A and B are shown apart, each in its own frame.
Chain A
């Protein structure tokens, strides 16, 4: 633990800390462009210069200088001040003065730091500025490369974090240009994070171009519902429209990244919305009033023959309100696993991501069964890449996909679980922190028991480590399971019960055919598959339009706040269910959102505490359990179009067409 003095203040810093980190620990702000906590150190912007003794009598780049015992660091001396002014002047030689038309304006590191550390005028005003041609980087990233200051954060991100080497710095010196090879589109699932990383306006958001200024936006803390990672996001809204979603920093969940889908599906919130009540009359959906709709539902006289199916993006409060309504009617026909999965949920630890996301980084042997992690949870894939970089051996059962780390594919046949090749067996025997990740494709094939048997065989649960993980991909899944949205036989049980009324809580992936005779009530926000099949549509709120609790796949309870109001006649889901209770003549025991939340927390106390829910130890495994069958495909066919909001989003449709089906488009054009 070296002791250093920063501006006369003596502090002790951790081993391996840099001078920049030492200064930060001492509470000093060090301006920087190229340095980023989560990327490797480049040391090429020179903005972080400080004065360090002992050492050469010149300013030192603090980001790349290790802090050593007895250093005297000054961040407030004349030398540092002139050094910063000089660097800033150099950076601005070629930077255009186009802040008024730049989308980064107002949240630009260069703008802020030139105000704070610049000298207010340039001596290079007679120089011509370098102009650089725009580079195509695909539908999400807009480039204005004249603004680039060559910090190479984007290059380092795509190489180190995303694991997709596609952005590079060509040429040298003043002529250096950041580009992708032959200007191909950046096409991985995390590509848009370089927009956040870019300290200037060189890489900005294409869909958000010229839409709003940061200071006119209302910022709301929310949770991403595009997958089960529960990435912490901030919804920036203006008026009634969500303009953009940005990641928030949460080291336990998303670090500071966000998948492209979570970031860019928000434009779908204003498209294909259900903003009026609809009823099916003579086979056609026509507008109706709330009264009419409620009367029609009451007229069906469901009694206890009522079922509720939760969609992939609903919050716990909505599910609890529906559960309370069904409970008052005397029904327990609740299900959330729309596609018919019926894995055993008697112990939630057995269907949870127990290692936690930050924990899986430390695993040293990982078996992935039936999960296209890159598409099902891009941010977990980032963690797996970190684990692989630390030396973890990764094996995958299922059809091959392009991993961003070295991995061994063990074939598509699940039977391999019980007779692993020797290399895998020895890897798991030798591992200190072995782990398994079961994906949706494995659960659908009934491989959960075999996975638990694998966990028992290789002692995945040991002191301070639980390596048994299930990776869900719907944001509502763990919350739904905690609230009892699971029948022993899955959707088949619901169909067999032949309910008179089926409440679909934004359930778009379910098969409505078995419910041909039932009155299908769709309570949701987008005119998607569920609405097409429904008899009555009650317009509800999306995740951006209501407060709610979400539980991610590691059992982390998180709260999201309401950013904007739902459009038209749409109401928050719980109010619809509350009104429906009146129409059906039952009492659900809550009249306000607070009362609903209290009732929910009383019923399931874990939902009231932000953070990891405790599901206890793994269930006892059946050692004889064997997995059978072949995983022929993963559930996600198209990364960009997995939920109704994304399907309604023009940006996501464009991404799907250009990035995933681009080759087909090119062929059609020829």
Chain B
């Protein structure tokens, strides 16, 4: 993660983003976030507002979105808080992108359970498709990031692409998902293993088997 850095403050960046302002819809959302905190504590809304801003940037650029410095300044001004405090928050959390990303931000989990289940192959497959860590691919579609545990260890390995998780991946399944995305489709999220619904044991339940079909009362069977 050490390669996280802020996009340099250049005249081009200023020219592109200085005029950033909430859309009508997002302004309503932002004010609602602020209103959920007590009077005078509007700063507490910095995280949802940064996320909202990132999404708005994403909509404007047809990507997942990121946070240019002028946009952070806009959020700071909107919340009447020092800009450095906003940048502290934005640089702390990995969910805020500090540099431009592609239309699909492919975040591959590389932590132990995923690694044991083959995340190295997943990363290799991504790279084979032309993705590179931390940069936008030539067609503007992909950005690859290796991230730490996303909490889907039971269905490892997994990737998170923008707001959706794709789990139980193999190289083929990943390719299918990515192909569908590239073609403008919306592949179903969650586990990609046929017959599996969520994170239940693969191959069917091993305990409470009678609960599968009905709300079985086990109490009579207690010895």
Binding site for B on A (CB under 8 A): 165-175, 180-182
Contact = CB atoms under 8 A, between A and B. Distances in A.
Given A171-B4, A175-B2, A175-B4, A166 B91 contact: no
B92 interface: yes
B91 A170 contact: yes
Given A171-B92, A172-B92, A181 B2 contact: no
A174 B6 CA distance: 17
Contacts of B83: 181
Contact of B87 (A172, A173, A174, A181): A181
Nearest to B72: A181
A171 B88 CA distance: 7
A170 B4 CA distance: 10
B30 to A, nearest CB: 22
A155 to B, nearest CB: 9
Interface residues of B, number: 14
Given A168-B85, A168-B88, A181-B87, 19 more contacts: A165-B84, A165-B85, A166-B82, A166-B84, A168-B84, A168-B87, A169-B88, A170-B6, A170-B91, A171-B4, A171-B91, A172-B91, A174-B2, A175-B1, A175-B4, A180-B84, A181-B83, A181-B84, A182-B69
A170 B85 CA distance: 9
9 contacts: A165-B84, A166-B82, A168-B87, A171-B91, A171-B92, A172-B92, A181-B83, A181-B87, A182-B69
B18 to A, nearest CB: 14
Interface string B151-177: 000000000000000000000000000
Nearest to B4: A171
A409 to B, nearest CB: 18
A133 to B, nearest CB: 10
Contacts of A172: 91-92
Closest 6 CB pairs of A and B: A165-B82, A168-B84, A170-B91, A181-B84, A168-B88, A171-B91
Contacts of A170: 6, 87-88, 91
A166 B2 CA distance: 24
Nearest to A175: B2
B24 interface: no
B217 interface: no
B139 interface: no
B214 interface: no
Contacts of A174: 2
A165 B85 CA distance: 8
A170 B84 CA distance: 9
Contacts of A168: 84-85, 87-88
A175 B2 CA distance: 6
A177 B31 CA distance: 32
B25 interface: no
B38 to A, nearest CB: 17
A173 B92 CA distance: 9
A548 to B, nearest CB: 42
B17 to A, nearest CB: 15
B12 interface: no
B183 to A, nearest CB: 37
A556 to B, nearest CB: 35
A623 B157 CA distance: 83
